[in-house]
Amino acid sequence: MTQIHTHTTLKLTKRLRRLRTSAAMRALVQETRLSPDMFVLPLFVCEGEGVRREVTSMPGVHNLSVDEAVLEVERAKGEGIGSVLLFGIPDRKDDIGSLAYDPEAPVQSAIRAIKRTLPDVLVMTDVCLCEYTDHGHCGIVIGDEIANDPSVDQLVRAAVSHAAAGADIVAPSDMMDGRVGAIRQALDERGFNQTAIMSYAAKYCSAFYGPFRDAAGSTPQFGDRKTHQMDPANVREALREVEQDIEEGADIVMVKPALPYLDVIARVKDTFGYPTAAYHVSGEYSMLKAAVRNGWLDERRAMLESLTAIRRAGADIIITYYAREAARAIG
Ligand code: PBG
């Protein structure tokens, strides 16, 4: 090694490296921490028994029958995770998504089964029609339009059926106007005034939902979701969406996706100070998994860095397919 002959000592009043000198020192001044109880594990519930079918584009994520879903929730709870978010994969679809509010459909059955076995686990449900319609759209299609108000009627039916099955939180993800207020009113009228609403308030029209549509079989058969989901270029509009959902009665507001929208998370949190959730979506997960499989990224570090960044931006709640792995990594 080349010798460096220097005796220079800078006269500095501040040396920021002092607080980075050891693991204990770094832990002492760490500003952002993760804990498993802020993670929500999404689960895809399908028909049948003993089914555990891996989603090709999402390694480690499965379509689960109700019995398998209960086992998965049990394992997650053992790792410190307190909540799950259920999506349904029905066997049968139609043009109005009627299985979305069938009391015997996978989601409703899973809610009851989880609540029976693990009553302390918070059960959240995704409220949308796209997994239930044969055309794959989030609402009722009339002509070539996704008709707002008739779609809201159907979403209300789905939300009420989830509440009736015992869901703690319903989470409308459709982005129709007025759905939060309509769901709140319907829940209250039926005696479910303790069922909370987490609205997918600022949900962008994102390429990063690709693998999810693979998992849920919900790719639109024609057109796209640009007339209801938000333009990725907009942030002031996100604040208007969030404001409207809060006025209509949302208890928790969500920004989705997460990593490409950290500025939106920060603005929403700073502006409203409401419980704020961020959805680290399927594409964000699959990108990491793909790079890890190629040996290009260290999974543990990339995963924790991603989730820490989402938390640092202001998310109180992180919905992530990495929930269990992350809980184990920090536990
Ligand atoms: C249903 C819904 C979607 C996601 C959550 N709820 C798909 C979509 O809007 O196309 C995406 C979740 C993910 O990508 O992980 N509308």
Report the pLDDT value the prediction gives residue 196, as an integer from 0 to 100.
98
Task: Establish whether residue 107 lines the binding site of ligand 1, counting it when its CB lies within 6 angstroms of any ligand atom.
Answer: no
**Of ligand 1's atoms, which has the minimum distance to the CA of residue 138?**
16
pLDDT in tens, 3-42: 777 778 999 999 999 999 999 999 999 999 999 999 999 9
Answer yes or no: are the C-beta atoms of 130 and 172 closer than 8 Å: no
What's the 42 CA to ligand 1 centre distance in angstroms? 11
What's the 212 CA to ligand 1 centre distance in angstroms? 6
**Of ligand 1's atoms, which has the minimum distance to the CA of residue 283?**
14
Query: Is 134 part of a structural domain of the chain?
Result: yes
What's the 206 CA to ligand 1 centre distance in angstroms? 9
Query: Is 290 part of a structural domain of the chain?
Result: no
User: Which residue is associated with the tokens 């990495």?
Assistant: 322
203 catalytic? Reply is yes
Nearest CA to ligand 1 atom 10: 209
Is this model's pTM higher than 0.85 or not?
A: yes
Query: Is 298 part of a structural domain of the chain?
Result: no
Query: Is 217 part of a structural domain of the chain?
Result: yes
Answer yes or no: are the C-beta atoms of 89 and 130 closer than 8 Å: no
pLDDT in tens, 245-303: 999 999 999 999 999 999 999 999 999 999 999 999 999 999 999 999 999 999 999 99
Return mean pLDDT, the chain.
96
Alpha-carbon gap, residue 96 to 116, rounded angstroms: 30
Q: How confident is the model at residue 192 (pLDDT cuts 50, 70, 90)?
A: very high
CATH classification at residue 122: 3.20.20.70
What's the 164 CA to ligand 1 centre distance in angstroms? 23
Catalytic residue among 77, 93, 203, 269: 203
Task: Establish whether residue 212 lines the binding site of ligand 1, counting it when its CB lies within 6 angstroms of any ligand atom.
Answer: yes
Query: Is 318 part of a structural domain of the chain?
Result: no
Q: How confident is the model at residue 221 (pLDDT cuts 50, 70, 90)?
A: confident
Task: Establish whether residue 261 lines the binding site of ligand 1, counting it when its CB lies within 6 angstroms of any ligand atom.
Answer: no
Q: According to DSSP H, which parts of the chain are helical?
A: 23-28, 66-78, 106-117, 148-165, 179-189, 210-216, 236-248, 262-272, 282-293, 299-313, 323-330
Nearest CA to ligand 1 atom 2: 173
Catalytic residue among 11, 93, 226, 256: 256
Residue span of the structural domain in which 185 resides:
33-251
**Of the residues 58, 135, 151, 173, which should be mutated to test ligand 1's pocket, given the most ligand atoms within 8 Å of the CB?**
173
Total Cβ atoms within 10 A of residue 188: 13
Query: Is 126 part of a structural domain of the chain?
Result: yes
pLDDT in tens, 301-316: 999 999 999 999 999 9
pLDDT in tens, 92-131: 999 999 999 999 999 999 999 999 999 999 999 999 999 9
Q: What is the percent of the chain where pLDDT is above 70?
A: 100
The structural domain count of the chain equals 1
Query: Is 283 part of a structural domain of the chain?
Result: no
pLDDT > 90? residue 75 = yes
Query: Is 271 part of a structural domain of the chain?
Result: no
